[in-house]
Copies of this chain bind each other. A is one copy, B any other.
Amino acid sequence: MAKKKGISGFPEWLPQEKRLEDEIIAKVKVIYESHGFTPIETPAVELLETLTSKGVVDKEIYALRRYAAEEGEVSDLGLHFDLTVPFARYVAEHLNDLVFPFKRYQLQKVWRGERPQKGRFREFYQFDVDIVARDVLPLACDAEVVTVLAKVLRAVGVGTPLLKVNNRKLLIGFYQGLGIEEGVIPKVVALIDKLDKLGEGEVTRLLSELPLTASQREEILAFAAPKLTHGEVEGYLKGVSFNAALAEEGAEELVTVLNLIPEGLREYVQVHLQIARGLDYYTGTIVESEIQEFPEFGSVGSGGRYNDLVSNYLSQRVPGVGVSFGLTRMMDLILRNSLLPLPAQSPAKALVAVMSEDVRIETESFAETLRERGVSCDVSARSPKLGKQIDYADKKGIPFVVFLGEEKAVKNIQTGEQTTFSSVDELMAVLEQG
């Protein structure tokens, strides 16, 4: 017999868990669409050339090969490892069919061809939004993607979201102002990005291996320290004297973006000056997020602004800004800690019991009447004793059982209450209360 074990790194949910995931997906879609983001979907597959076109292979890729391939047959396809690379290809390919600024959302699985490791996903959902323009992309767009991420994390309803915002120009400009060589700055950014992971001691040690003076090192670490609430940011930044125009620009951008966050969400947004983001292509606003009650779990969504999305394909500039909500990571957090109640195994609101096989056709037809009125319902596939049918509904989490005997009745399984009814309207009234 074949193995039936799940494959490590490829998560799979039980029906109740999948229904919870679907509920979260539905909430996120509503939020994204309420801001005018439109859905797109790209194939799971891109040309390997596209996936590796930045020269560097940052992420590990799964290449595809036909199982029945003949010898020497070359495979040129791989699974996408994020949704940004396929989105860039999509924008370049359909440039003339899209209206800019183009706002899209995209919910798809991504795959990482890593060796199996405990706790690492090799397949997971990302749920991205991005806004791209054909020329200038205003800061209002940065504020909008931070806003929707805050709304999404709030809507999931587990703990208190914390969105940590910063600006790459501010960071790089600050380092320029300290007189740090241009070539060294990216290395400093990369180290500051790891402050949380490595701790200050280790980062200090690694900074000392770079060509920096002791006072530069001190200033770098001191500037990374502040964690500012929304209300504190403008005042704090006004008190810092920057020696570089880029830093001033970054500070101004940061304040502009923060001021565009709707009031009801500002409590979730902080500026953490140590947020640097490892990826080179971010050029302005950057954001990471976590659930405050689970800081050790890490990021559940992140993103930022990039100067150009499509330089691999077109000579035109297409700047963008976006965030990625880590749906599978969020599900993992929720399920590990039982943070949300799971829905029932069945979406049915009522089970229509079958009194005997002689009345099956009438029973099915009654169920159809309920469905036409918008009630999801299941009909017992067989007609065992009613106790068994009630037991089936109970195990599946179906809240009501309808009996079509001489006296028609409906039983609320939770309360045990049984109510007779003489018309579908009367039945509907009971179902709608439950």
Q: State in angstroms the CA–CA spacing of A48 and B7 once bound together.
A: 11
Interface centre among A2, A10, A47, A141 (most CB of B within 10 A): A2
User: A37: which B residues are within 8 A, CB to CB?
Assistant: 347
Which one of A61-69, A174-182, A406-414, A424-432 is at the interface?
Answer: A61-69
Q: State in angstroms the CA–CA spacing of A67 and B77 once bound together.
A: 10
Q: State in angstroms the CA–CA spacing of A114 and B104 once bound together.
A: 31
Q: Counting CB contacts under 8 A, is A133 at the interface?
A: yes
User: A312: which B residues are within 8 A, CB to CB?
Assistant: 1-2
Supposing A50-B2, A62-B64 touch, asked if A12 and B42 sit within 8 A by C-beta, the answer is yes
Closest to A365 in B: B262
Supposing A111-B44, A382-B138 touch, asked if A93 and B262 sit within 8 A by C-beta, the answer is no
Q: Counting CB contacts under 8 A, is A74 at the interface?
A: no
Residues 339-381 of A, flagged 1 when their CB comes within 8 A of B and 0 if not, give 0000001111001000000001100110010010011111101
Q: State in angstroms the CA–CA spacing of A433 and B93 once bound together.
A: 37
Pair B43/A4 contact, Cβ less than 8 Å: no
Pair B361/A259 contact, Cβ less than 8 Å: yes
User: A230: which B residues are within 8 A, CB to CB?
Assistant: none
Supposing A13-B41, A39-B19, A40-B15 touch, asked if A140 and B379 sit within 8 A by C-beta, the answer is yes
Pair A378/B35 contact, Cβ less than 8 Å: yes
Residues 90-112 of A, flagged 1 when their CB comes within 8 A of B and 0 if not, give 10111001110101100001010
Supposing A34-B376, A38-B346, A262-B368 touch, asked if A45 and B1 sit within 8 A by C-beta, the answer is no
Interface centre among A34, A98, A377 (most CB of B within 10 A): A34
Q: Counting CB contacts under 8 A, is A136 at the interface?
A: yes
Which residues of chain A from 2 to 21 have any CB-CB distance to chain B below 8 Å in the complex? 2-7, 10-15, 18-19, 21
A323: shortest Cβ distance to chain B, in Å?
A: 16
Q: Counting CB contacts under 8 A, is A192 at the interface?
A: no
Closest to A368 in B: B262
Pair A103/B378 contact, Cβ less than 8 Å: yes
Which one of A208-216, A217-225, A232-240, A392-400 is at the interface?
Answer: A392-400
Supposing A36-B398, A38-B19, A361-B260 touch, asked if A345 and B12 sit within 8 A by C-beta, the answer is no
Q: Counting CB contacts under 8 A, is A158 at the interface?
A: no
Q: Counting CB contacts under 8 A, is A78 at the interface?
A: yes
Q: State in angstroms the CA–CA spacing of A109 and B108 once bound together.
A: 11
A399: shortest Cβ distance to chain B, in Å?
A: 12
Pair B1/A313 contact, Cβ less than 8 Å: yes
Residue in B3, B38, B47, B65 whose beta carbon sits within 8 Å of that of A347 in the complex: B38
Q: State in angstroms the CA–CA spacing of A339 and B178 once bound together.
A: 64
Pair A65/B68 contact, Cβ less than 8 Å: no
Q: Counting CB contacts under 8 A, is A252 at the interface?
A: no
Closest to A138 in B: B381
Pair A377/B36 contact, Cβ less than 8 Å: yes
Q: State in angstroms the CA–CA spacing of A374 and B30 once bound together.
A: 9
Q: Counting CB contacts under 8 A, is A163 at the interface?
A: no
Residues 220-257 of A, flagged 1 when their CB comes within 8 A of B and 0 if not, give 00000000000000000000000000000000000000
User: A90: which B residues are within 8 A, CB to CB?
Assistant: 12
A261: shortest Cβ distance to chain B, in Å?
A: 9
Pair B7/A77 contact, Cβ less than 8 Å: yes
The 8 closest A-B pairs by CB, nearest first: A36-B378, A36-B348, A10-B43, A61-B67, A66-B113, A2-B53, A33-B347, A15-B38
